[in-house]
Amino acid sequence: MHKILVIEDDPLVMDNVIDILELEDYDVLSAVNGLEGVQRALEHAPDVILCDVMMPLMNGYEVLRALRADEQTATTPFIFLTAKADRSDQRHGMELGANDYLTKPFTPRELLQAVTTRLQQQTAVAQKYQAQIQDISQKAQQQLYQDAITGLPNRLTLGDRFADAVTDYRQEPESNRLLCLASLRIDRFSSLQHDLGYGTTDQLLHAFAQRLKTRFSGHSIAQISDAEFVIIFKPLAHKKEVTTAIQAFQADLNRPFLIAQQRIFLAISAGLTLYPRDGRALRELLQHAQTAIAQVEKQGGNGCEFYSAILSVGKAPRLYLEAELREAIAQQQLHVQYQPKINLKTQKIESCEALVRWHHPKQGLVSPGRFLPLAEEVGLIDSIGEYVLAVAGQQMRQWQQEFGQPLQVAVNVSSRQFNRVDLRQRVLQILVESGLAPECLELELTESTLVSDFTVAKRRLEAFRHLGIKIAIDDFGTGYSSLQYLQQFEFDTLKIDRCFVQNIHQNKGNAAITQATIEMAHRLGLTVVAEGVENQAELEWLQTHHCDFMQGYYFSPPVNGSEFATLLTSSAMAPLKR
């Protein structure tokens, strides 16, 4: 019920007004002079005040001034009741902040009309304020819990979501379900930000977040820094579901972002952790995810890796692994496998890639992705790299003599190895010892190896090329500035990364990029090798589009020396001719 305060010294007028208002169910308060009126107004906070002008003790203007000065009544609708029809008086009242003027005598209708109009206005104003307040608090809430650029939940929200996920997980009846947390970091983000400027980067981040939301809808996503995102997956049955989802997202990123008329490619490195296997606290899981990301980044980024305690930077496991690895080198647990590269024109094995393997006495075959990052970090990569070079060099020379073919071998060179001043010396020594011709040796480098010091890298590369040694750019397309590298360095071979080759016959984006890459490489005089060819359809697409070489499981996985020799002798090109 609305409260109306009537301030009027004339009892007749007062009674009349009270009657009219009470009939309409208003709650009416009265005051017989100005002073009492102010008191009652402050005490009862009425919804509307009706006030006479000419009164003893305090006139209507003084009442109004007093009420407007008080916070509580500053905006209460105020209507003057007066016998005076003088226009200048009316204006005086309005200037002081009155909302309306009723001239006595007024009809009940005029009075009620004036009151309802004011009440309606008051409600509208209140609603508007209410909406504004809600809006402001919502925005504050958003700022507190969301990233300002992408609108994704932030670290604060992540904590809540994680707690919810753990609660749900604990209630899951099936004990064999997995709760997985993935951390995704945009590769080379700071140099990207530097090159593009902040405005464009913001747009890019926004667009990136959209793709992330689309791909991982249904799971919990949060952004914990500019370039770092976390996904808490719904409980899953297999680890594979996570890697498949991440790889699908990595494939989404093969489609460039079009921002400010630029085509920008992004790649991400992902670290995956499992609750509670890798930790029970969010902080712990995030830390482990970082460790896994660091491993991926060391291999050039654009990949994903589950955290494994063996990779931990925590002293004990790493030291242990390091000791084991040293022993592995000493005890010759490291082996070299060879993966054939087929010339698509001659359909012959003309080359191969040497890939290192660790036959761990207890763990079995340990993949290079697991031990090379550590080897790189602690310097063991130098001896591993030299070992692979020496073994592969000798092996090639032997096969060349045995089969009378000019077989070529490609050896991966890590960043650290490439930056060694004596690398050229060591390579030369190996060539001399094995008797392998320099043009039969190719060094595979990734873009990340070349980024640290452009001038030095360029000089080193040229020095190798002057010796006749070939240089390949590996995992091409996974770094955002790849095109730039092609023009600045002189390479002999370009290896298109597996992520582009996958489903190339169906993925229009990948097909367009690869076709353009092949054309451009050819124009620059480079030989193109497609990595990771897994089926006939991919192979046919590559043949149609004039790719020079293929390497992949479809023809053969990496195999040991004797198996490779068998491949060389048999007419094992069968799959290509199917």
Name the residues that contact ligand C2E, by CB under 6 A. Answer: 299, 339, 355-356, 367-369, 372, 385, 388, 412-414, 444, 474-475, 498, 531-534, 551-553, 558
Helix (H) or strand (E) holding 100: strand 100-103
Query: Nearer Cβ to ligand C2E, position 8 or 376?
Result: 376
Q: Does the protein bind Ca ion through residue 305 (CB under 5 A)?
A: no
Place of tokens 């589009």: 545
414 binds, among Ca ion, ligand C2E, none (CB under 5 to 8 A by kind): ligand C2E
Instruction: Look up residue 281 and give its amino acid.
Output: A
Q: Does the protein bind Ca ion through residue 475 (CB under 5 A)?
A: yes
Q: Does the protein bind Ca ion through residue 447 (CB under 5 A)?
A: no
Q: 10 Å Cβ neighbour count for 293?
A: 26
561 binds, among ligand C2E, Ca ion, none (CB under 5 to 8 A by kind): none
Query: Nearer Cβ to Ca ion, position 154 or 302?
Result: 302
Using DSSP, state whether 262 is helix, strand or coil. strand
553 binds, among Ca ion, ligand C2E, none (CB under 5 to 8 A by kind): ligand C2E
CB of 489 to Ca ion, least distance (A): 16
CB of 133 to Ca ion, least distance (A): 58
Q: How does DSSP assign 286-321, residue by residue?
A: HHHHHHHHHHHHHTTSS-EEE--GGG--SHHHHHHH
In 361-389, beta strands by DSSP E: 364-366
Query: Residue 357 and residue 332: Cα distance in Å, rounded?
Result: 11
CB of 291 to ligand C2E, least distance (A): 18
CB of 369 to ligand C2E, least distance (A): 5
Query: Nearer Cβ to ligand C2E, position 165 or 372?
Result: 372
544 binds, among Ca ion, ligand C2E, none (CB under 5 to 8 A by kind): none
534 binds, among Ca ion, ligand C2E, none (CB under 5 to 8 A by kind): ligand C2E
Query: Nearer Cβ to Ca ion, position 246 or 409?
Result: 409
CA 379 to chain centre: 32
356 binds, among ligand C2E, Ca ion, none (CB under 5 to 8 A by kind): ligand C2E
CB of 241 to ligand C2E, least distance (A): 17
CB of 531 to Ca ion, least distance (A): 5
Query: Nearer Cβ to Ca ion, position 38 or 410?
Result: 410
Half-sphere exposure of 369 (CA within 13 A, CB side): 14
User: 240-249: long-range contacts (C-beta < 8 A, 24 or more apart)?
Assistant: 242/180, 242/182, 242/272, 243/272, 243/304, 243/306, 245/215, 245/216, 246/182, 246/184, 246/270, 246/272, 246/304, 247/304, 247/499, 248/215, 249/184, 249/211, 249/212, 249/215, 249/216
CB of 349 to Ca ion, least distance (A): 17
CB-CB contact of 539 with 556 (8 Å): no
Query: Residue 357 and residue 437: Cα distance in Å, rounded?
Result: 25
- Residue 25: Cβ-neighbour burial (10 angstroms; 0-12, 13-18, 19+): exposed
Q: Does the protein bind Ca ion through residue 493 (CB under 5 A)?
A: no
Half-sphere exposure of 169 (CA within 13 A, CB side): 22
CB of 322 to ligand C2E, least distance (A): 17
Place of tokens 């579901």: 241
Helix (H) or strand (E) holding 103: strand 100-103
Query: Residue 276 and residue 547: Cα distance in Å, rounded?
Result: 46
Q: Does the protein bind Ca ion through residue 444 (CB under 5 A)?
A: yes
**Residues 364, 367, 371, 376: is their CA dihedral positive or negative?**
positive
**x/- string (CB under 5 A) for Ca ion, residues 406-425?**
------x-------------
Query: Nearer Cβ to ligand C2E, position 215 or 298?
Result: 298
With contacts defined by CB under 5 A, name the span among 75-83, 104-112, 309-317, 472-480 that binds Ca ion: 472-480
Among 474, 504, 510, 517, indicate the residue that binds Ca ion (CB under 5 A).
474
375 binds, among ligand C2E, Ca ion, none (CB under 5 to 8 A by kind): none
Binding-site size for Ca ion (CB under 5 A) equals: 5
CB of 502 to ligand C2E, least distance (A): 8
CB of 299 to ligand C2E, least distance (A): 6
Binding site for Ca ion (CB under 5 A): 412, 444, 474-475, 531
